[in-house]
Amino acid sequence: MLNKITSNPKQIFLLDCLGALLSATLLGVVLPSFQPIFGMPHKVLYGLAALACLFAIYSFWNYRWFKENWQLYLRGIAIMNLLYCGLTAALVIYFRQELTKWGLLYFLQEMVVIMVVVMIEFKRVQQGFVPLSLKRY
């Protein structure tokens, strides 16, 4: 099933959108409700949730209005996801004293899942890339 989804670049945008919505819900609703269990400050959780919402909008837009030059847009969300992971890692390091083992576990697993998606996105971009010299006019 994952092969079927990842072979179609349009579906990768949908997968990314749904993942970003799940992250936004967890970061913006669930984790703040149980903040003492996870330890990350509310402001940080809401900020990460807002970023996830922006990523969801970007991915949904690209899913809904899919274009021929999709590689550029898929590369864009892959890079944004990488930057998000870097930001998350920096926040985990910065707030390491406040984070509980559950908070650390949550953020580490989120970064692992996102990195798997990033690898799928970059792989699909490379597979779909056709140099200008090979395009038929």
* Nearest to 122, CA basis, from 14, 6, 24: 6
What confidence category does residue 2 fall into, taking pLDDT thresholds of 50, 70 and 90?
low
Domain count, the chain: 1
pLDDT in tens, 64-82: 998 888 999 999 999 999 9
Q: Does the residue 135 lie in any domain? A: no
For residue 65, what are the contacts with CB-CB under 8 A and spacing of at least 6?
none
Q: For residue 111, tell me if it sits in a domain.
A: yes
Domain housing 83: 2-123
Q: Is residue 109 situated within a structural domain?
A: yes
Residue 137 lies in a domain: no
Average pLDDT of the segment spanning 90-97: 98
Say if 108 falls within a structural domain: yes
Inside any domain, residue 70: yes
pLDDT tens across 96-130, in order? 999 999 999 999 999 999 999 999 999 988 887 54
- What is the residue-wise DSSP string for 87-126? HHHHHHHHTTTT--HHHHHHHHHHHHHHHHHHHHHHHHHH
pLDDT for 3 equals 67
The Cα–Cα gap between 38 and 101 comes to: 7
Global pTM reads 0.86
User: End-to-end alpha-carbon separation of the chain, Å?
Assistant: 35
Task: Give the separation between CA 93 and CA 22, rounded to whole angstroms.
Answer: 23
Q: Is residue 129 part of a domain?
A: no
130 occurs within a structural domain: no
- Cα 81 to Cα 59, 99, 136: the distances in Å are 11, 22, 33
